[in-house]
A = this chain, B = another copy of it.
Amino acid sequence: MVHPLFEKHQATLDGAVAAIHSRGYWSAYAEMPSPKVYGETAMDDGKRAFDAHLGKRFELDQPGVTGWGGDEASPYGLPLRVSYPQCDPQALIDAGLTAMVGWQKIGAAGRTGVCLEILDRLNKQSFELAHAVMMTTGQGWMMAFQAGAPHAQDRGLEAVAYAWREQSFVPGEARWEKPQGKNPPLVMQKHFEIVGRGVALVIGCGTFPTWNTYPGLFAALATGNPVIVKPHSNAILPAAITVRTIRAVLAENGIDPNLVTLAVIPQRAATQQLAAHPAVKSIDFTGSNVFGQWLIDNCRQAQVYAELAGVNNIVVDSTDAYRAMLKNLAFTLSLYSGQMCTTSQALFVPAGGIDTDEGHKSFDEVCADLAAAVDAFLAKPEVATAVLGAIQSTDTLNRLAAAPALGKVVLASKKIAHPEFPLAEVRTPLLLACDATDEAAYMEERFGPISFIVKVADTAAGIALSERVVSQHGALTVGLYSTRSAVIDAMTEATWRSKVALSINLTGAVFVNQSAAFSDYHGTGGNPAANASYADSAFVANRFRVVQRRYHV
């Protein structure tokens, strides 16, 4: 008997599985916040649902509550004053392991159906989630809606599709019949049970609390594991809304809701203790190298899927669309004030300048023209605030304030007043020029709106430098602008060695820092920026095990 929720969402699942195979464009959840798709009242309903959380306790009915806490500081300066249950981690682990039994029992199809129902329900909450993401992360509204809701849901669905594909490949049973020449065959009946590894811990980041959380959350859940979601201390609400919805769907379907819980843990030491707990068998983490490396080094009982820092970069060799290139780069550097793990930090430009459709441009001209393009793009305040959003953390503000000392300022960062949120910290990108030898400046991640135009001897040196930076420091994205096929080939081969995704000659409405679910692999898992990819078979295959039994018939 097929699980009713599997039947209900079969078309979505089929579409997702086909999409991860063809990797063409596909999406299950509309990215435009359109009333036609989401309903005429969705916008207002979502805002009201968000407002209803403010100033209140966020009830989750979890076990082991020891107190309430977790008040986030909005980058927009809005007082949120939501408090969340703080639970004894051991109680969450015990409850999760208890719930795991029933979750195993409904099988891969049942789990997949329930996960698809959860995603569908989260999609209907997209406006509420978008407000929660915007107000906790500082993202602009449109990005908060798209990346925070439908795109995150797509990434979750992608993980479910991979998990389903791997699990459905394992037969529930088999008849094994070995010929014995003239004698009757040896016959055995075999059963294959898919079992989760144990408690999965998913640690979220402060900038993309759903987009970077859903892949690990749904990969672990779909493969039979209880999940503890530990959000970033400043972006709890989007995770809390998510966990509440998951728990509701589980309970409605006869599954113990303690399968998925929220862990609000203010102290790093307590998070470390939870992460190193013997019952925790997988950890998904997005964040700093320091904590990520600590997890990898110390949580040997668990499989760690980590997305860490990197130095994304672009080699600029030549272009036949100079203005369009500058405009594309200006958008990339401005979007969410460079607070994306995919934002380009270093642009490698030959000392002798570049050939363009507007003639040869010297290194200094490229610097000046890019600065002018950013300025022009952000000229209208309503565009600027919508694109830039607000700075998420004071660490980033401090980093930005100190950054001008790292090179020659090509474009200074400015503070912009937000008409709606007077307390919001809005900043335009800082552009610095430096020499390739100034490695200390550009060769570590400077998270935020800080980018370097790095003078390299020539294009070949730029490609070699890009490869070295990616191999040693990691990157999720690199870009190339070139009209010469030999250069494109050389850069392509460099990325095969350094294992990083390459975008070539982006001059339109696709940007190097954007990655589309079902088509673009986010991270390769092959350089220091990430040891896993969203999403591929490796992201799901080790989250479950197959236990067989056999007997004669």
**A294: Cβ under 8 A from any B Cβ:** no
Inside 8 A of A300's CB, which chain B residues have their CB?
296-297
- Taking the nearest CB of chain B, how far is it from the CB of A308, in angstroms? 14
Please tell me the number of chain A residues within 8 Å of chain B, measured between CB atoms.
Answer: 64
Asked if A195 is an interface residue, CB under 8 A from chain B, the answer is yes
Whether B21 lies near A502 (C-beta < 8 A) is: no
Chain B residues near A492 (CB-CB < 8 A):
549
* Least Cβ–Cβ distance between A157 and chain B, in angstroms: 17
With A23-B171, A552-B508: A546-B520 Cβ-Cβ less than 8 Å = no
Instruction: Tell yes or no: A506 within 8 A of B by CB.
Output: yes
Contacts of A297 in B (CB 8 A): 300
A423 touches B (CB below 8 Å): no
Which B residues are in CB contact (< 8 Å) with A549?
492, 495, 501-504
- In the complex, A510 Cα to B22 Cα: how many Å? 43
Contact flag A499-B545 (CB < 8 Å), given A23-B174, A177-B24, A510-B186:
yes
A98 to chain B, nearest CB (A): 12
- The interface residues of chain B lying within 8 Å CB-to-CB of A418 are none
* A355 adjacent to chain B (CB < 8 Å): no
Smallest beta-carbon distance A128→chain B, Å? 26
Output the nearest chain B residue to A198 by Cβ-Cβ distance. Answer: B526
Q: How far is the CA of A175 from the CA of B19 in the complex (A)?
A: 12
Check B169 against A537 for contact (C-beta < 8 Å). Answer: yes
Give chain B nearest CB distance to A448 CB in angstroms. 26
- Asked if A521 is an interface residue, CB under 8 A from chain B, the answer is yes
Q: Evaluate whether A192 and B505 lie within 8 angstroms (CB atoms) in the complex, with A519-B174, A537-B166, A549-B495 already known.
A: no
Q: Are A190 and B519 in contact (CB under 8 A)?
A: yes
Assembly CA distance A500 to B546 (angstroms)? 9
CB distance from A224 to the nearest CB of B (A): 10
Give A528 Cβ to nearest chain B Cβ, in Å: 11
Given known contacts A22-B171, A25-B177, A508-B552, A541 and B536 CB-to-CB distance under 8 angstroms: yes
Is A290 among interface residues, defined by CB-CB distance under 8 A?
no
* A520: nearest chain-B partner, CB-CB: B548
Question: A residues 498-539 with Cβ under 8 Å of B?
Answer: 499-510, 516, 519-521, 524-526, 533, 536-538
Are B501's CB and A548's CB within 8 A?
Answer: yes
A538 touches B541 (CB 8 A): yes
| Segment 398-435 of A: residues with Cβ below 8 Å from B | none
Q: Are B186 and A552 in contact (CB under 8 A)?
A: no
Check: A375 CB closer than 8 A to any chain B CB.
no
Whose C-beta in chain B lies nearest to the C-beta of A507? B552
Supposing A195-B499, A541-B541 touch, asked if A25 and B506 sit within 8 A by C-beta, the answer is no
Residue from the list B25, B496, B520, B552 in contact with A505, Cβ < 8 A: B552
Contact B175 A24 (CB under 8 A): yes
B residues within 8 A CB of A364? Answer: none
> Which residues of chain B have C-beta atoms less than 8 A from A104's C-beta?
496
Give the residues in chain B near A178, CB-CB below 8 Å.
Answer: 25, 516
Please report the C-alpha to C-alpha distance between residue A169 and residue B192 in the assembled complex, in whole angstroms: 23
With A176-B516, A502-B550 in contact, is A23–B542 under 8 Å at CB? no
Q: Which 9 A-B pairs have the closest CB atoms?
A: A526-B545, A504-B551, A537-B541, A538-B541, A502-B549, A23-B174, A538-B542, A541-B541, A25-B178
In the complex, 24 of the A-B residue pairs with CB atoms within 8 angstroms, ordered by the A residue number, are A21-B169, A23-B171, A23-B174, A23-B190, A24-B176, A25-B176, A25-B178, A174-B519, A180-B509, A188-B510, A190-B519, A195-B526, A501-B550, A503-B551, A504-B549, A506-B552, A508-B552, A510-B550, A520-B550, A526-B547, A538-B538, A538-B541, A538-B542, A542-B542
- Given A23-B171, A176-B516, 8 more A-B residue pairs with CB atoms under 8 Å apart are A180-B509, A296-B300, A297-B300, A502-B548, A506-B551, A524-B545, A526-B545, A536-B541
